[in-house]
Structures are given as structure tokens and as C-alpha cells.
């Protein structure tokens, strides 16, 4: 388990089915639950930002930019 925060209420390009989270995610975390402070399932981890691609385009290396499908969508 790792700690993080919801950093955006939408995913890439404003996708309202997703939320952006700062909790570190690795390959294999997809499908895992993203839990709230009281243990409630907020969503399901689905993707991480391609940091190398962003760095190549912008010169800045983003860290811990990951995405979850909202719980109500996953349900």
C-alpha cells in the first residue's frame, strides 16, 4: 500500500470517467483498488503517465502521475 492524493478530478483530456492520482503505481498495479481515508474504494488503478515521453516533449520529468477509473464507472 502506498499513500497518495487525488490530484485531478478528471483524467487525460478532461475524461470524467477517470481521476488523476499521485500514489506511485508500477506495472502490475492495474486493477488494484484506490482507497479513500476510511478504506472506501474510490476507483481502480488503470494507467500511469508515460514520463519518458513527456520528458522528451517538455524537458521536464513528471513523477507519480497515475490514473484510476472512478468507482462508480468500474461498478
Binned at pLDDT 50, 70 and 90, residue 1 comes out as: confident
Query: How many domains, in total, are found in the chain?
Result: 1
Answer whether residue 32 is part of any domain: yes
Answer whether residue 1 is part of any domain: no
Answer whether residue 36 is part of any domain: yes
Domain residue limits at 31: 6-69
Answer whether residue 74 is part of any domain: no
Answer whether residue 57 is part of any domain: yes
Q: What is the mean pLDDT of residues 3-14?
A: 95
Look up the CATH number of the domain holding residue 45. Answer: 2.40.10.10
d(CA 25, CA 56) in angstroms, rounded, equals 21
Q: Pairing relation of β-strands 41-48 and 66-70?
A: antiparallel
Binned at pLDDT 50, 70 and 90, residue 69 comes out as: very high
Binned at pLDDT 50, 70 and 90, residue 28 comes out as: confident
- CB contact at 8 A, 44 and 68: yes
Amino acid at each position: 500500500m502506498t499513500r497518495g492524493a487525488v490530484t485531478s478530478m478528471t483524467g487525460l483530456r478532461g475524461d470524467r470517467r477517470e481521476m488523476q492520482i499521485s500514489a506511485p503505481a508500477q506495472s502490475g498495479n492495474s486493477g488494484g483498488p484506490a482507497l479513500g481515508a476510511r478504506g472506501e474504494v474510490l476507483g481502480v488503478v488503470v494507467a500511469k503517465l508515460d514520463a519518458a515521453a513527456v520528458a522528451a516533449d517538455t524537458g521536464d520529468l513528471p513523477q507519480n502521475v497515475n490514473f484510476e477509473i472512478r468507482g462508480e464507472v468500474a461498478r
